[in-house]
Structures are given as structure tokens and as C-alpha cells.
Amino acid sequence: MKERYDVVVVGAGPAGLLAAKAVAQNGFDVAVIDRKQDLSSVSRTCGQSLLPPNEYFFGDIFHYNEKDKRFCYASTGLSFPYTGAVKNLYTWHMHSPGMNKLQFGSGDENGAPIALSYDKEIMLKCLLEEVRSNHVDIFPETEFTMLQPGPGSVVVVAGDKQFQATSVIAADGANSRVVEALGYNTNRRLIANLYVKSCFIKGFNPPYKNSIITAVTFLHDKPVYIFLLPRPEDDEWNFLILTLEGSVDLEEAYTHITTHPNYADWFKNAENVRDFAAIESILSPIIKPFRNNVLIVGDAGACQELECLGAMLTGWKGGLAIATALKEQQLGIPPRAVDQYSDWWLNTYIKQYDYQDYLSIFGIAYIFSQPEIIDYVFSLLKEPFPPTFNPYTAVGLLGARLQGVMPRIMQERPEMLQQLAGKMMMFPSDVMAETLEDIS
Ligand SMILES: Cc1cc2nc3c(=O)[nH]c(=O)nc-3n(C[C@H](O)[C@H](O)[C@H](O)COP(=O)(O)OP(=O)(O)OC[C@H]3O[C@@H](n4cnc5c(N)ncnc54)[C@H](O)[C@@H]3O)c2cc1C
């Protein structure tokens, strides 16, 4: 085992592999460590839909180049092979507990898709081949335990292994241990915890085709979110159950949903073919992603998630920044690459994608607080919204439309408006933080 590298990347997810590709393509020695045994296998829940391909996201436009079977970022020039199937998704149907519906997109399949369903395991396999061909050393079953920063280098400790590197890239995702070890979390706010059970199902009877279907339901008065996304092949769907409530039994929620009169017909022939799960802390994002020669990329520095497209771009850009910083050192010229990356992170993520907006979509059942309120508000917003599955865009569209119906709510349901106003005046993070208080 070679113990000295220019760069050690912690985490072989989408962000880490693209960071490794960027550094290695500039001729530097790179090691990637990951705790998983089979690096392309996915056991943590992911919707496995790439979004949003119909608008700029993190300053770029993502698309699938079908001719060459590559995933491409048109503006940055980043591309890599993807040999799996894809399916275009055009509409997002979001249901209230009483089955009133918000619809994003009109179902027009001649327009741009709002998301691309794909196979994440195949993408990771393709990315692993790509980095291996760039002579990156990959260490599976190597779990990061601690960092020892020193002058001009960092020692990464992973169990009984040690790696010395000039720079480290932390790409170990949500609940990042590297971020914790660097002391960032003392200044981040723990907003809520997310608990997820999901499975691939066959035999699902979808009410809409080539669409994303979501719903809010309540179990013992606690909000539970349902996501249903078509898989790229066959008749498989990805069925996700999410809650911020630690007291919700996700197995009970599964039975509740699949037998509930609202959805029972969809699930009557459904067969669970593969299980996944996730538990994640939702924290306020990191503002300055570089400390002690360690650069944070991907979900490790985010408020819960950047979506795969955002994670990959931060990985790629972060990798290029570290490669450039290493060149600066070799040439003895004043450093600026890492600061440029930090500025990009600040301007592109922190300032453009306000985490409170992201939380608004997640917190919808808390902001509208009761099934009856959600049903009523959704009933006022029947007209389809423009096509999007981007949570940040959706919250803007929703907010604008809500403003327009406020006079009607004031007239029809003044008492409800009073209740709504209370929550809507609060930061979504404060509303969601009440779920933490519930647990303690
Ligand atoms: C419920 C849910 C649904 C989602 N749905 C979607 C979706 O539909 N579309 C979308 O684009 N995104 C979705 N996401 C988000 C998406 O999964 C992430 O944004 C993306 O995977 C982040 O990539 P990453 O490389 O930053 O982190 P990750 O994919 O989390 O990769 C981190 C890697 O680090 C490794 N690791 C972690 N800790 C250590 C350690 N201590 N030592 C060594 N290795 C370690 C892990 O094994 C993993 O391989 C979803 C997330 C959740 C939780």
C-alpha cells in the first residue's frame, strides 16, 4: 500500500469520485477511501432521479448525451460515461392527505423532462472505472476515523491504516465524520432528523405515467411523506417513505400507506423487490468549506443534500480547485484556487439555494400543520404549475401562487389564515426543529 498521496478523498460517492477524477486527470497521486465493501452497491435510500435537467442548477445545465451514452454538464464541460438505462419524467403530482393535488408540469412529453430516472449503481460503476483508468488507488472497506492536521500535510487515519496527503477532500456525505472531526458542527444548527424506509417495487399500478408522485399523510397525527418515482427499466418503481418524527414506526407507515383507501389501489399487486433505508441529520450548511487543508464537497457540507447533480458538480469543481492549489504550490505562486472555490460555493450554493427554501418543501406538513389545512390550501392551487422537480424552484412557484390566494383564504377561512400566518412567519428551520423537541 502506498501511504503518501497528493490527495486523499474520503468517500466514493458521486462527489468523491468526481473530485478524484478532477485531481487525477491533472497528474496527481490520488487515493479514495470508502467504508463500503462493494463501492458501486447502494443500500442507502436515494430517489435515483437526476434533477433538474430543465433549468440551470449550480450554474450548469445537465443532460444525457444519448448518442455517446454520457452524462454531461454543458457549461462546465464535465462529462462521463453512463451505460445504464434512463427514463424521462415530465410531471410531479403532489397530493394532500385528502388527495387534493398540486401538479408541476402539464404532462407534455414534448417538452424538457423535469427529472431523469437512472440507475445509481451503474453510474457509480462507470465512475469507478473512470477513476481507475486515471490511476486512482481505491480502498474499499476503509472507514475514516480521524484526521491529524500538520504543517503542509494531513494524516488520514482509517482504522489501522494511515494515509499522508498534502490535501484531503471530504466527500463522505450527510452525517460526515470528517466534518465532525474538523469541528464544523459546533457552529452548525441541527434542524431535524430524517428517517427513511424505501424499496423498489414491481407490479405498482401508477395513477400517472412518467411522473413523480408524492403525498403527505399522517400516522398517529405525525406527518409522513410518500415519494414514488419510476425506475428506468421494466415496470419497477422506487417507493420512499420519509418522516422527521423519530416516534414513527416506518414498518407501520408502510402498511398504513399500502392499505390506505387513498393509495391501496396503486399497491394492490405491488411486490417489494429490494429494501433500502436512511437516517440523516439535517444541519445548516457549511459556509466556508476549507479548513486545515481539507476541502468539503458534496452532501458533507450541505443542508441534508445537494441532489446528485449538485454533489457531483461540487466534487468536480472542488477537485479542480485542489489540483490547481497543488500546481500553485509547485510553482511557488500565491494561492488563490481554493479561495475561488470557496467563493463559488458561497455564490452558487449558499446564496442561490437558500436552505430555508429547501426546508419549506420538506416542512410543508409542518407549515400547513394540519391535514385539513393542507387539503384546503391544495384545493385553491388546482391550476398546474410550470414543470419542475427542483425543490428550490417549486417553493418559489408555490409562494407566489399562495400570495395570490391569500385574500380568498382571508375571506373564506380567516381562522385558518391566522394559524397559517403564525407558521409562515417563522423560519422553516424553527418550525422543523419542533420535531427534535418532540423526541426529547
Ligand atoms: C431519502 C433521500 C432521497 C434522495 N433522492 C434523491 C434523488 O431523487 N435525486 C438526487 O439527485 N439526489 C437524491 N438524494 C440525494 C443524493 O443521494 C445525494 O445528494 C448524493 O448521493 C450525495 O453524494 P455525495 O457523494 O456527496 O455523498 P454520498 O452519496 O452519501 O456518498 C458518500 C460516500 O462516503 C462514504 N462514507 C461515509 N462515511 C464514511 C467514512 N467514515 N469513511 C469512509 N467512507 C465513508 C459512503 O459509504 C459513501 O460511499 C436523496 C437523498 C436521500 C437521503
DSSP, residue by residue, 151-212: TTEEEEEETTEEEEEEEEEE---TT-HHHHHTTGGGGS-EEEEEEEEEEEEES---SSSSEE
Q: Which domains does the chain have, with CATH numbers?
A: 4-84+119-188+286-350 (3.50.50.60), 87-114+190-283+363-440 (3.30.9.10)
Distance CA 297, CA 313 (A): 9
- The alpha carbon of 141 and the centre of ligand 1 are apart by a number of angstroms equal to 17
- The alpha carbon of 104 and the centre of ligand 1 are apart by a number of angstroms equal to 26
- The alpha carbon of 245 and the centre of ligand 1 are apart by a number of angstroms equal to 21
- The alpha carbon of 410 and the centre of ligand 1 are apart by a number of angstroms equal to 43
User: What parts of the chain have a pLDDT lower than 50?
Assistant: 1, 440
State which ligand 1 atom lies nearest to the alpha carbon of 299: 26
- The alpha carbon of 153 and the centre of ligand 1 are apart by a number of angstroms equal to 27
DSSP states of 231-253? -SSTT-EEEEEEES-TT--HHHH
pLDDT of residue 294: 98
State which ligand 1 atom lies nearest to the alpha carbon of 14: 25
Residue nearest to atom 17 of ligand 1 (CA): 46
Q: Which residues line ligand 1 (CB under 6 A)?
A: 10-16, 33-36, 45-51, 143-144, 171-173, 177, 196, 240, 242, 278, 280, 298-299, 305-309, 311
**Packing angle between helix 414-424 and helix 371-379, nearest 10 degrees?**
100
Q: Which of 41, 308, 392 to mutate to test the pocket of ligand 1 (most atoms within 8 A of CB)?
A: 308
Q: Which pTM was predicted?
A: 0.97
What does the pLDDT look like over 164-173, one tens digit per residue? 999 999 999 9
3-state secondary structure (DSSP) of residue 94: strand
Strand positions, DSSP E, 26-160: 30-33, 49-50, 62-65, 70-73, 79-81, 87-89, 91-95, 101-104, 115-117, 137-139, 146-150, 153-158
pLDDT of residue 3: 81
Query: 158 has which bridge partners?
Result: 161
Distance CA 301, CA 23 (A): 20
pLDDT of residue 439: 57
